[in-house]
Amino acid sequence: MASKRSYLLIDNGSTRAEATLNLRRLAVALGERCGVEVAAVSLQHADRIPAAALGGCAADTLPSFLRSKRAEGVEEFVLVPLFFGSSRALTRFVPDTVGEVVQETGAFRLELGRSLYPLPDGEPRLAGLLCDQVSRTAADHDVQLEQVVLVDHGSPIPEVTAVRQGLAREMRERLGPGISLQEAVMERRAGSEYDFNGALLEERLQAMAREHPHQTVILAMLFFSPGRHAGAGGDIEEICQRVMQAAPGFRVIPTALVGEHEGLVDILADRLREAEGRLGG
């Protein structure tokens, strides 16, 4: 490998230590799989986490990381996105940041890998991973698999929403006709022009509880890491508890997060090798 090349696994960033710790775990696993050192770098926010909450090692963010590595003489960068789709973080923030650093430090080469579910082709392995999480959760709780809700953060960008919709279509095909799969979001903007984004999770679950008050729903979590929405103490946990308290016979069981599935590293490794190949790795 080139001595002046740096590999990064990037996420959007969170102020929760658990998210950065998960990113670091995945970066180590990815590096071991590909035989290179991979840095865990957030685009923003993570530098607000106290270093003490991260084992004494402060989180890296993309602007400061690039500047630091350029000062060390690094000339090539391979960025592997821990993103489901091409959000504005990838299409705007990364190019803008790179442009600023180029102006400050001079030209360098950077390859940004494809997202986990690049459109229009998608990624069958990701749909398979989600279905595996659903099946595992049903088996672990000894429940009959009938109702599934695929939930993500939600986006005002149709191209990002299309990622969840594409995954939902693939999951329905894999799960089969006997299982109903619906979609929901944690955040959406007001107004009919954003109806494409989907129903809010709490509203979706409340409607399902009214229609089937004694049913169990498996909540397929389209999130990589614990944060404000996902994980212990997050909004999703609170929403599920409220809905179940209002309808005592209704159960909602979330799956593990995508970032916790062992198959994720396989996809990330392919993204790294693709981007590396464009640099002549």
Rounded average pLDDT over 182-191: 90
CATH 3.40.50.1400 range(s) for the chain read 5-117+261-279, 124-260
User: Which has the minimum average pLDDT: 12-16, 95-99, 258-262, 268-272?
Assistant: 12-16
pLDDT (0 to 100) of residue 213: 94
pTM more than 0.85:
yes
Q: Provide the pLDDT confidence category of residue 198 given band limits of 50, 70 and 90.
A: confident
Does residue 127 or residue 227 have the better pLDDT? 127
**Residue 2 pLDDT more than 50?**
no
Q: What angle do CA 107, 267, 9 make, to 5 degrees?
A: 40
Sorted by sequence, the CB contacts under 8 Å of residue 230 that are 6+ apart come out as 221, 223, 236, 257
Evaluate if residue 3 carries a pLDDT over 70. no
Fold classified for 5-117+261-279: Rossmann fold (3.40.50)
pLDDT level of residue 1 (50, 70, 90 thresholds): very low
CA dihedral (259, 36, 2, 118) in degrees, to 10, reads -20
Query: How much is the mean pLDDT over the chain?
Result: 94
The stretch 144-148 carries a mean pLDDT of: 95
d(CA 10, CA 76): 16
As a whole number of Å, the end-to-end CA separation of the chain is 7
Q: In what order do the strands lie in the sheet with 147-152?
A: 180-185, 147-152, 216-221, 251-254
CA 275 to each of CA 41, 163, 252, 270, 272: distance values in angstroms, whole numbers, following the listed order: 17, 21, 39, 9, 5
Q: Does 142 score more than 50 pLDDT? A: yes
Tell me the mean pLDDT in the region 32-40. 97
* Choice among 137-151, 218-232, 260-274 with the minimum mean pLDDT: 218-232
pLDDT reported for residue 226: 86
Q: What is the mean pLDDT of residues 41-66?
A: 95
pLDDT of residue 7: 98
120 phi, psi to nearest 5 deg = -90, -5
> Between 3.20.20.370, 3.40.50.1400, 3.30.110.40, 3.40.47.40, what CATH number should domain 124-260 receive?
3.40.50.1400
Report the 10 Å Cβ neighbour count for 244. Answer: 16
pLDDT at 281 over 70: no
Return the half-sphere exposure (C-beta side, CA atoms, 13 A cut-off) of residue 280: 3
Summarize the confidence of residues 85-91 as an average pLDDT: 91
Is pLDDT of 68 > 70? yes
How far apart CA 136 and CA 260 sit, in angstroms, is 13
pLDDT at 183 over 60: yes
pLDDT tens-place string over residues 243-263: 999 999 999 999 999 999 999
